[in-house]
Amino acid sequence: MKYVTTKAELEAERLNWEKDGKTVGFVPTMGALHEGHLSLIRKARTENDMVIVSIFVNPLQFGPDEDYDAYPRTIDMDKALAEKEGTDVLFVPPVAEMYPQPPYNKVSVIKGTDVLCGKSRPGHFDGVATVVLKLFLLTRPNRAYFGQKDAQQVAVVKNMVNDFHLPVEVIASPTIREKDGLAMSSRNKNLTSEEREDATTLFSHLKIAEDRLRSGETNITELEAEMKRSLHNATSGTVDYLEILSFPSLTKELKDKQVIIAAALQFSKARLIDNIIIDI
């Protein structure tokens, strides 16, 4: 595995592969790798000749009171894990390599960003779209792999790719969970042991809502309100949102063939999100 930190080093690798007609799979991450990330790398490994993984904690997608500084950083372990999964290039740019000179131009994403995390974290998805576009242009992948845990992110990135005619296939991969159902997330490291125990209630509430929908519940507003109240009572965290929306359009009106039940819980030092997507 090549460990590269500059655009020039990455480009040198990329040009070699281009010359040889190799296909490229790309897995963007913010590091502190876990089985969720590794599942994406494994998928990329089986579907492409070459695999690029990036680790970059992107300041542009964090709000001023968010956890940019406290975000887990475990680069030595990440290098070993990425190498073990057969990554060809691990791209770990310093902030100045991605954002050399302020002020920064940004991509503005307005589709599907007025709900869920987009509503709670203003500007977050502009930051995500900006860095993902830059990373796509640097890595020029045939396929890029994202986790369904961040379902709104997948929808935003797919819309951007579609609207800007970017020549990349965006592939969404299922959420990998701990044995007790908690979605794996780098931020789980920032939970206290009590918070870790009660974090499982996030997924169990999504499951209850799923069961209710599957058994024919049609009063979505009432179901959301009930689930939100119950989640509030079951956790020491603060319920940021629990919403049931059409997927992938993320509208209240259930116009797509799928529905997303999504929730976010804010704990003392970690904000966790999770969702279940079901066919209707």
Ligand X SMILES: Nc1ncnc2c1ncn2[C@@H]1O[C@H](COP(=O)(O)OP(=O)(O)OP(=O)(O)O)[C@@H](O)[C@H]1O
Ligand Y SMILES: CC(C)(CO)[C@@H](O)C(=O)[O-]
Binding residues, as ranges, are: 30-37, 61, 147-150, 153, 176, 184-187
Query: Which is closer to ligand X, CB of 30 or CB of 51?
Result: 30
Instruction: Supply the DSSP string of 98-114, one letter for each residue.
Output: HS-SSSPP-----TT-S
Least Cβ distance, residue 117 to ligand Y (angstroms): 10
Q: Which of residues 43-72 bind ligand BAL (CB under 6 A)?
A: 61
Among 4, 25, 29, 244, binds ligand Y (CB under 6 A): 29
Beta strands in the chain (DSSP E): 2-4, 24-29, 50-55, 89-91, 143-147, 169-173, 238-247, 258-266, 271-279
Look at residues 185, 191, 201 and name the one whose alpha carbon lies nearest to residue 239: 201
Query: Which is closer to ligand Y, CB of 30 or CB of 262?
Result: 30
Contact 52, 92 (CB under 8 A): no
What is the rounded distance in angstroms from the CA atom of residue 185 to the CA atom of residue 33?
Answer: 9
Contact 245, 251 (CB under 8 A): yes
In the block, residue with structure tokens 């024919």: 216
Residue 37 falls in the annotated catalytic set: yes
Per-position x/- string for 141-170, each x denoting binding to ligand Y as judged by CB under 6 A, each - no binding: ---------x--x-----------------
By CB under 6 A, residue 152 contacts ligand BAL: no
Among 4, 10, 30, 250, binds ligand Y (CB under 6 A): 30
Pairing state between β 143-147 and 169-173:
parallel
| Residues making contact with ligand X (CB under 6 A) | 29-30, 36-37, 39-40, 146-147, 149-150, 173, 175-176, 183-187
Query: Which is closer to ligand BAL, CB of 127 or CB of 141?
Result: 127
Using CB under 6 A as the criterion, which residues of the chain lie in contact with ligand BAL when the complex forms? 61, 150
- List residues binding ligand Y (CB under 6 A): 28-30, 58, 61, 128, 131-132, 150, 153
